[in-house]
Structure 1
Amino acid sequence: MSIPLILASQSPSRRNVLNAAGISPTIHVSHVDEPAAVAAEAEARGVAVDDLSCEQRVMILAQAKARSVYQAYREVAAAAQGAGGEQVTAFPLRAKGAAEAGTDSSAGDGKGGISSTADGNTNQYGEKVYDHHSTLTRDFSDVDVPVEAEPMKKALAEHPGFADAKAGPLIVGCDSMFLFEGEPLGKPHTPEVARRRLGAMRGKSGELWTGHCLIDFATGRQELESSHATVRFGDYSDRDIEAYIASGEPLEVAGCFTLEGLGGAFIDGVDGDPSGVLGLSLPLLRRMVGHMGVAWTDLWNVGIGKLAAARLEEAEARKADGDEKAKATTDDGISAEEQAASIVPPKSNVHQPGDGWVHCACGRRHWGLNGAAGVLLARRSPETGEVTHVVMQHRAMWSAEGGTWGIPGGALADGESPIEGALRESYEEANITPEDIEVVGTHREEHGPWAYTTVFAFEKPGHEVDPHPNDDESMEIAWIPVAEVPKRKLLTAMNADWPRFVARLGDLAREYRQQ
């Protein structure tokens, strides 16, 4: 099995560099305050910010980004490992009458809309197609579903995650800066700055520096390195500059240019590592991964690289068995609120490892190649201990069953446990901070090749969670009074499960009040 790589960046260039190299990274944006991080490090070193070299700055920021994401995953893992209570597993496909339940034979589950296979979710031009009529969750509310309960400790052992890994996932943070005539240049942000820079760089050259920080989640070990290359610019015209600025491309990239985009035509040559100019040096990252004791090919998880890695794994297994034959694979310019209200998915929607449809024995398609999970977070009255509110997500119109209310969650990433995935997704979507909650139980709907895990959680005593949309998958995230939940237009699965879920929350609240 490949070792997951987490990219602490939403840069399409870095993601594309990795994808072309056979690695589909999990994207987790760090949200680091870059000026503050550089200023703090300069103060710690006893120097002014202007005294820091270009190389030092990109190394500082690469480390800050990687460590921010590493800490976020540590908090998720700690909350998951500290889970208490029981896991109740429902087996709807074992129930009598399950074959007749539901009405739509092609439905699926989850947040999706993006198919990882050519199963009708992409058109002949490779464009994403969202079929809202094929994404209704199957309703088993009228079926007597068999259930089993087990201690959470046993459930955690049956579904290990990142906290149990011996190596990985590997977290990589990067930052790039262009050094031109002795001045470090970051992103121009405005047309005025871009115009001035592009005019000054015409016919000249500069150095593109990229910092790389790699952290092994399993061990906490860190590698910190940088790459640089000299970029030589052509003699482009003023009209070229205006057209390039009008495209918007140079405004949010280091140095005001791209090598792989429209700007590539204005670059006469690169002396050094070209992938480093794209924001991530493949040769350097390969060496850093090797220093961690991980083979580069163990990161392959897409395309021919994934197939090659699978064949190698199979061959090594045969060899171990003595088989001698084995010697012979959003930024669309609109607000998150506007995007959530649109029925068209955002162009910046990133395909993550684990995204895709599973064709299930129940006759439906479910979102999440590794399954899916979400968090049902409850707030209790300080006086009575009773559950008063739960966090609900008003789903973006472009998502499956758009416009309904459910709980924040989504597809599990490669290598993470259901609880880890639920906590990660709920933070990324709804700002449910794992350090402020305690997991008190789970409900797993098991379909065999796919399962959905609902994670029950309470705010810790003395802690408050401030839920709000962190991305464009929600029109609204809010604390909803328990009595109002059934009055909302609920996601099909949530509508079916709510009566038993609210009853279980009440039981859990009484149990925790007595402790």
Structure 2
Amino acid sequence: MTISFVLASQSPARLSTLRAAGIYPRVIVSDVDEDAVLAATRASHDAAGLGDLSPSDAVLALARAKAQEVSDTNGTDAIVLGCDSMLEINGEILGKPQTAEIARERWRAMRGSTGTLHSGHWLIDDRDDGSSGTLGATSSTVVHFADLSDAEIDAYVATGEPLKVAGAFTVDGIGGPYVTAIEGDYHGVVGVSLPLLRELLLEIGVAIHELRNA
């Protein structure tokens, strides 16, 4: 039986990670207003008396919104995976910097420090004959950064890579030399945790090798 699998993310790193594991999903990019999703989630937390929205919960809410939007608007008849990542460092949550100036500022704060990369994962079993399950979890991995010089920061920012990724770094690309160690799941830092994906799939009665066969 062929199982259709959809990645609701435009991240090349996530797609490359899945393909390296033998999984070739369709990519359907969601059109989610991330600020609106986070604002609504914070309001819901406040109304329920749950306090501040944690980084782990924030990325999970975004991952869920992305998966749900793709499921709702595309009629996928597939298993849909939504993902989102943020870096927590020095008590601050960092997404994509977008500009070179912000990327430089972040790296000056990050160098020689330790942060936690949170990657939210949400699965929706949208198959006509599937479980109709919807569930998710967050992978959190501690990342240690090298003590970069100003010249190294400028050279890295000039590549353009840090502007496009959560936390302004990659571990599997140009930024690799600037990550000295990780404590946790390497794939979670790249953006999609394969062990966590396996566990979520099992919850809806699918073995990850079934996606490889597809």
TM (norm. structure 2) is 0.93
Q: Would the aligned equivalents of 1:174 and 1:212 in 2 still touch at CA under 8 Å?
A: yes
| Cα deviations by residue, 1:313-343 (Å, 9 ceiling, x for unpaired) | xxxxxxxxxxxxxxxxxxxxxxxxxxxxxxx
Query: 1:190 Cα shift?
Result: 0.7
CA distance in 1, matches of 2:110, 2:45: 32
The structure having more radius of gyration, on CA atoms, is 1
Aligned to 2:111: 202
User: 2:207 aligned with 1:288, yes or no?
Assistant: no
| Cα deviations by residue, 1:85-138 (Å, 9 ceiling, x for unpaired) | xxxxxxxxxxxxxxxxxxxxxxxxxxxxxxxxxxxxxxxxxxxxxxxxxxxxxx
Aligned to 2:188: 276
Q: Would the aligned equivalents of 2:45 and 2:53 in 1 still touch at CA under 8 Å?
A: no
Q: What is the identity, as a one-letter code, of the residue corresponding to 1:22?
A: G
Q: What is the identity, as a one-letter code, of the residue corresponding to 2:132?
A: G
5 Å matches for 1:74-473?
74=75, 162=77, 169-218=78-127, 219-301=131-213
Aligned to 1:59: 60
Q: What is the identity, as a one-letter code, of the residue corresponding to 1:269?
A: A
Q: What is the identity, as a one-letter code, of the residue corresponding to 2:73?
A: A
Q: What is the identity, as a one-letter code, of the residue corresponding to 1:61?
A: L
Q: Which runs of 5+ in 1 are unaligned?
A: 78-161, 163-168, 307-515
Q: Would the aligned equivalents of 1:209 and 1:227 in 2 still touch at CA under 8 Å?
A: yes
CA distance in 1, matches of 2:46, 2:110: 33
Query: 1:223 Cα shift?
Result: 1.3
Q: Which runs of 5+ in 2 are unaligned?
A: none
User: 2:5 aligned with 1:19, yes or no?
Assistant: no
CA distance in 1, matches of 2:102, 2:149: 17
Aligned to 1:68: 69
CA distance in 2, matches of 1:3, 1:276: 24
CA distance in 2, matches of 1:36, 1:195: 27
Q: What is the identity, as a one-letter code, of the residue corresponding to 2:26?
A: T
The structure 1 segments of at least 4 consecutive aligned residues displaced by more than 4 Å after TM superposition are none
Q: Would the aligned equivalents of 2:95 and 2:167 in 1 still touch at CA under 8 Å?
A: yes
CA distance in 1, matches of 2:2, 2:210: 5
Using the TM superposition, name which of 19-28 and 215-224 deviates more: 215-224
Aligned to 1:37: 37
Query: 1:52 Cα shift?
Result: 1.1
Q: What is the identity, as a one-letter code, of the residue corresponding to 1:11?
A: S
CA distance in 2, matches of 1:45, 1:227: 21
The answer to which structure has the higher helix fraction is: 2
Q: Would the aligned equivalents of 1:2 and 1:300 in 2 still touch at CA under 8 Å?
A: no
Query: 1:56 Cα shift?
Result: 1.0
TM (norm. structure 1) is 0.40
Q: What is the identity, as a one-letter code, of the residue corresponding to 1:59?
A: L
Q: How many residues align?
A: 209
Q: Would the aligned equivalents of 2:97 and 2:166 in 1 still touch at CA under 8 Å?
A: yes
CA distance in 2, matches of 1:234, 1:222: 39
Q: Would the aligned equivalents of 2:45 and 2:52 in 1 still touch at CA under 8 Å?
A: no
CA distance in 1, matches of 2:184, 2:204: 25
* DSSP-derived class of the 1:52 partner: coil
Of structures 1 and 2, the one scoring higher in RCO (CA 8 A, sep 6+) is 2
